[in-house]
Structure 1
C-alpha cells in the first residue's frame, strides 16, 4: 500500500512517500499552509491523484511525553482530516526529535542547495521511517 507521511506545521507541511511493502521513505514535497481547509483539500487531492491508501501524521509530543500546544494543533488537524478522508486509513506516530534529525541530515548534505521547507520534508521522511520501523 502507498503511504504518505505528514509533518504538519502552520507554515509548511512536509510530505514523504513510501510503500508498506518495500518500506523505503522518499521526500515528496511541501504544502505551504494558508488554512486548515486548504491543507486538507491539498492532501486529499494528493492521496487521490497518487493512490495513497494510508496517511501517517507525526504527533509532536514533548520530551517528557506531555502534550503541548503544537501537539493539540496537530491532533485537531488529524481529526478534521479523518472526518473527510473516509476512504483513507490514518495513523499517527510519535515525532519527537524528527525535526532535529532532519536538520542533522540536511547539515551533512554537502554541495546541495537547501530550500525553504526542506527540513519539513525531511522530518516527514523521518516520521515515515519510524512508522515503518514499528510495523
Structure 2
C-alpha cells in the first residue's frame, strides 16, 4: 500500500492527516499554523520523511454546483507548489462539506468547533484522506 498524507489547505492553517501502513485508516496528525511558504514546506518535508510519504491527498473545495471556483484554483496553485517543492504527486478529493462534517464530529464529542479551528482542520484532513483511501479500496 501507499503512504499518503491528507491535507486540508487553508489560508491560515493546514490540517494534516496520515494513514496506517495498510492504507485502511486515516488519522489526524497535526495542524500547521501557516507562516511563510518556505517554513510551511520545511515542516511538511519533515513529516513526509518521517512517514515515508509517497503522495499528497489534497481536499479541493468545489462549488456546490460541482465546479472549480476561485477558492479551488487557489488551493490547486498552492498544492502544486507544495508538491513540486516536496517532489511528490498530488491527488485531489472533493472536500465539499468536510469542514461541516468535522464540526459535527467535534460537537458529538462535546468539543467547540468555534474555539478549536485547528482541530476542525485536522479532522477535515482526516475525512479527506479517509475518502481517498475508501475510493482506492473500492476500485
Same fold, TM-score > 0.5, yes or no? yes
Aligned residues: 133
Q: Is the 8 A contact 2:28 2:125 kept in 1?
A: yes
In the alignment, what sits opposite 1:96? 96
Structure-to-structure mapping, 1:1-135, within 5 angstroms: 1-19=2-20, 21-86=22-87, 88-110=88-110, 115-135=116-136
* TM-superposed deviation, 1:22: 4.1
Which consecutive segments of 4 or more residues in structure 1 shift more than 3 A?
A: 112-116
Q: Is the 8 A contact 2:13 2:118 kept in 1?
A: yes
Give the RMSD, CA atoms, in angstroms: 1.7
Separation in 2 of the partners of 1:129 and 1:4?
10
Q: Is the 8 A contact 1:20 1:132 kept in 2?
A: no
With the length of structure 1 as denominator, give the TM-score of the two structures.
0.88
* TM-superposed deviation, 1:68: 2.2
Structure 2: stretches of 5+ with no match in the other structure:
none
Deviations 1:27-83 (A, max 9, x none): 101000122332222212210122222211111111101222321211001111222
Structure 1: stretches of 5+ with no match in the other structure:
none
With the length of structure 2 as denominator, give the TM-score of the two structures.
0.86
